[in-house]
Amino acid sequence: MEYTVQKLAILAGISTRTLRYYDEIGILKPARINSSGYRIYSQAEIDRLQQILFYRELGVSLEQIKEILSSPSFNGIAALKGHREKLLEKRKQLDLLIANVDKTIAVTEGRTKMSDKEKFEGFKQKMIDENEKKYGEEIREKYGKDSIEKSNAKLMNMTQEEYDSMVNLENQVKTILAEAFKTGDPSSDLAQKAAELHKQWLTYSWAQYSKEAHAGLAQMYVDDERFTAYYDEKQPGTAVFLRDAILIYTGMKK
């Protein structure tokens, strides 16, 4: 079965403009151009488009998708199994949020009661799932599966007051770090205050704090471009500055 741009767009539920853009950036080329100048897509392109849309649904950028699909080691069956696993995780999160909304409606209507902890379970689970998606493999390799599972459990068992305090601390770290960065001195009082607040923020979710683990995480902020991008969003070099401040704070600076 072969499809023109128009027919494939209707089949996949996307715009013809999207298909033309995919052709332009080289992520999905048509099988051939017919004598009338129409792009023609065959079964191989249809299967590739399905993979692209799966990855897009999971939030993967087109640049990353192109790299994944173009890799000689790409395995279609393994990819589909991976999609299924991630979609099941996403469904679990959505089911939890839906259940949370249903129960909140019941509480509002006076049909049941709901603890403050229950009101925010869905949101905390969303935070855990997003962290798992971004950093799960790396942090498990660095700190061990058991430590990460304990950390996730600690987060889920937080009271709303504890959760709010954790979020407020994260904002304080950002604010003070930005001020400390202007001094250019990671050993300054402001920089060390940022490192101390960062430690306090970690203890909300870490099962057990250690200076070595804190220093290791700080190094990861520099080594992993995703962490670096988070801290360098407003001021390039912030991740390195925070790393140095934490190494001084923990006594790990060589």
Summarised one tens digit per residue, pLDDT across range 30-85 is 999 999 999 999 999 999 999 999 888 887 889 989 999 998 888 888 888 888 88
pLDDT, tens digit, 9 for 90 and up, residues 177-201: 999 999 999 999 999 999 999 999 9
- The alpha carbons of the chain give a radius of gyration, in whole angstroms, of 24
Interatomic CA distance for residues 204 and 222, integer angstroms:
23
CATH code at 159-250: 1.10.490.50
- Would you state the pLDDT for residue 124? 62
pLDDT band at 128 (very low <50, low <70, confident <90, very high): low
Instruction: Assess whether pLDDT exceeds 80 at residue 99.
Output: no
Interatomic CA distance for residues 45 and 32, integer angstroms:
11
Instruction: Assess whether pLDDT exceeds 70 at residue 130.
Output: no
Instruction: Assess whether pLDDT exceeds 60 at residue 171.
Output: yes
Q: Write out the H or E segment, with its range, that includes residue 4.
A: strand 3-4
pLDDT, tens digit, 9 for 90 and up, residues 11-35: 999 999 999 999 999 999 999 999 9
Q: Is 9 helix (H, G, I), strand (E, B) or coil?
A: helix
Residue partners of 18: CB distance under 8 A and separation at least 6 = 9
As given in the structure block, the two tokens for residue 157 are: 């068992």
Domain boundaries, the chain: 3-70, 86-157, 159-250
Looking at residues 86-110, what average pLDDT do you find? Answer: 74
Name the average pLDDT for the chain. Answer: 84
CATH 1.10.1660.10 fits 3-70, yes or no: yes
Residue partners of 144: CB distance under 8 A and separation at least 6 = none
Query: Residue 199 to residues 44, 95, 191, 196: CA-CA distances in angstroms?
Result: 51, 33, 13, 5
- Would you state the pLDDT for residue 136? 61
Does the pTM surpass 0.75? The reply is no
pLDDT band at 121 (very low <50, low <70, confident <90, very high): low
Interatomic CA distance for residues 5 and 50, integer angstroms:
15
pLDDT band at 107 (very low <50, low <70, confident <90, very high): low
Question: pLDDT over 90 for what percent of the chain?
Answer: 44
Q: Is 40 helix (H, G, I), strand (E, B) or coil?
A: strand
Looking at residues 218-229, what average pLDDT do you find? Answer: 86
